[in-house]
Amino acid sequence: MQTLVQQNVIALIWDFDKTLAKDYMQKPIFEKYKVDEAEFWKEKNRLIEQYLELNKASE
């Protein structure tokens, strides 16, 4: 007798260029968790700059 394999399937659909939603899709998440959107993007951009600097220094 075979055992029944059960698994969950999770799909994540994200609109990165506002073709499906009028705003960026993370906006409702920021609103729900009271995240300052401008500060979030500033920090994200700083992380990219830091990564590039560290990567360049290790070459």
CB 51 within 8 A of CB 57: no
Q: Which domain holds residue 40?
A: 1-59
> What's the token pair of residue 4?
């029944």
Q: 51 in helix, strand or coil? A: helix
Query: Is pTM beyond 0.85 here?
Result: no
**What local confidence, expressed as pLDDT, does residue 31 receive?**
95
pLDDT, one tens digit for every residue, the chain (59 residues):
677 778 888 888 888 788 888 888 888 889 999 999 999 989 988 998 898 888 888 77
pLDDT for residue 35: 96
Number of domains composing the chain: 1
Q: What is the pLDDT of residue 22?
A: 84
Quickly list H helices, 1-59.
27-32, 37-57
Q: Please report the pLDDT score of residue 18 as a whole number.
A: 83
